[in-house]
Structure 1
Amino acid sequence: MNNIVLTVNRLTVYRETYLAVEDVSFCLEAGTDTAIIGPNGGGKSTLVQAILGILLRQVGEIFILDYPLSSTGFLPAMIRQQIAYLPQNFLFDRRIPMTVEELVGLGWDQLGFQLPWTNGKKRHDAVQAALQRVDVTYLRKQLISGLSGGELKRVLLAYCLVRPRRLLILDEAQAGLDVRGESEFYNLLAQLKREEGWTILQISHDLERVRHHCDRVLCLNRTLLCQGTPELVLSPDSLSQIYQGELTGFQRYY
């Protein structure tokens, strides 16, 4: 069985006429947690959106679980179902009276509808088990519009858990949490990674969290400046090269 979950080969992506990501290559091994770091505007979100097929690439190849992502962003449903995405901000119309239970259930119906042959009891049991795993069963009937930031993050993790996943992609998913909420989120994420065998790719600006929780680090400023273990990449010399004028905010880690 191939141990590589994601392969990105010589990826180049434009946003209209702006060259946002240039000639980026890397692989993710199964069961690893990899962080993408770099200065603001360095192409981190563009890279993630290209991997998800949200933005179309101009050059390069992307393989997810050995399947090529087409130039139009298409992946077979059986592969896309094994990918979960947690955005920086989960935007939704707060007028829609959707409960926590209903939102997590969409993770089972991931394509946006329930197939005719879906076992209703199996779906219900999977939703309840996912809610229990992240300790939000008590919220199951509550409207998602009334959730706190920390509660919503846990519910989104339940959405990811309701079906087996291989790859979890996070775009600063801890954004909006206070210090305690962020710590709880990362601890829960690490626990679920061990239990589920998830491969994680996450964008993060919190270098201290990256140092303690991630296996590898990709340093991106349009092109890939370096990659390796946190000990290697998060050295003062490396960070000085990566962030240059933005380094002041990170000096407290040393």
Structure 2
Amino acid sequence: MRSPVLVVSDLSVERSGRLAVEKVSFELQSESETAVVGPNGAGKSTLVAALLGLLPRKEGNVQILGEQLSANGDLPGAIRSQIAYVPQSLALQGRFPLSVAEFVGFGFDPPGPRWPWQQHRKRKTAVEKALDRTGCIDLRNRLLSELSGGQLKRVMLSFCVVRPRQLLVLDEAQAGLDVPSNERFQQLLLELRRQEGWTVLHVSHDLDMVRRSSDQVLGLNRRLCCSGSPDHTLTPERLVDLYGPNMVQYRHQCHG
């Protein structure tokens, strides 16, 4: 039996002087897809940031691929390189002088010293394949700062898939994608799980998509209010407990 990819035990995180996440525990099994849902301000993005070591935790433990995340958010480079992350947004100042192909190429590079020159052809081939796989091949020479929000999300996913990894973390990564792009995105996630053994953790407001694609759902409103399969978790009664009596089912708006 394989060990879980991610084990979270009694995780609490403070933000702006208050507990944004309190005593949260769960596990991610290999090759599974887990969705984190909950109302705005429930601590979903804070949870993700703490799991990645981007925010300090007040208490609790996080173990990724068998390695303990340190109090400072550090992980061995070999473990860190197995994690890919697509944030809600990527702020770029002015005319950021980096092309799409250059950016995705950084995702191919291993930690530590640069690879020898003979690896450059392999790197270029991997970048082209990743851009083609995410429908971004025509953007290869564009500057990142010239892209729309939806295009930038797909390029960030290209960065993640440019080489094999084990854990993909998505923070509302599909926000801003039109319907065809959203469907392609979901199909790619399914392929990564089935063909390459990736484990996926994603934050989403799209409960219909979560119901269709996820193996496990975590209902978060500071605390973990419910968890389990979509059929167990996304019942009307549990959704009212999670979102409140005036629950609105959030859906991503589709942009061109």
Q: TM-score, normalised by structure 1?
A: 0.91
Q: Secondary structure at the match of 1:187?
A: helix
The amino acid of 2:186's aligned partner reads: Y
Q: Which residue of 2 aligns with 1:32?
A: 32
What amino acid is aligned across from residue 128 of structure 1 in structure 2? E
> Helix, strand or coil: the match of 2:131?
helix
Q: Is the 8 A contact 2:21 2:222 kept in 1?
A: yes
SS of 1:85 mapped into structure 2: strand
> Alpha-carbon deviation of 1:110?
6.0
Q: Name the CA distance, whole Å, in 2 between partners of 1:248 and 1:138.
A: 38
Change (3 A) 1:135 1:39: closer
After TM superposition, where is structure 1 displaced by more than 6 Å over at least 4 residues in a row? none
Q: Which SS does the other structure have where 1:200 is aligned?
A: strand
Letter in 1 for 2:114: L
Alignment identity in percent? 49
Q: Structure 1 pair 110/149, CA: closer, same or farther in 2 (3 Å)?
A: farther
Q: How many residue pairs get matched?
A: 250
1:115 matched to 2:82? no
Shift of 1:154: 2.2
Contact 1:171 1:202 in 2 (8 A): yes
Q: 1:120 to 1:245 in 2, by over 3 A?
A: same
Give the conservation status (yes or no) of the 8 Å contact 1:89–1:175. no
1:74 equivalent in alignment to 2:71? no
Gaps of 5+ in 2: 251-256
Q: 1:17 to 1:149 in 2, by over 3 A?
A: closer
Residues 169-192 of structure 1, C-alpha deviations (whole Å, 9 max, x = no match): 011011122344333322332233
- Pick closer, same or farther for the CA change 1:199–1:125 going to 2, 3 Å: same
Query: What TM-score, normalized by structure 2, do the two folds share?
Result: 0.90
Aligned to 1:41: 41
- Name the Cα RMSD after superposition: 2.0
1:109–1:246 CA distance, 2 compared to 1 (3 A): farther
Deviation at 1:17, TM superposition (A): 2.0
Q: Structure 1 unaligned runs (5+)? A: none
CA-to-partner distance for each residue in 1:144-169, whole Å, 9 max, x for gaps?
22333333222222111112110000
Task: Tell me, yes or no, if the aligned pair for 2:109 and 2:115 is still in contact at 8 Å.
Answer: no
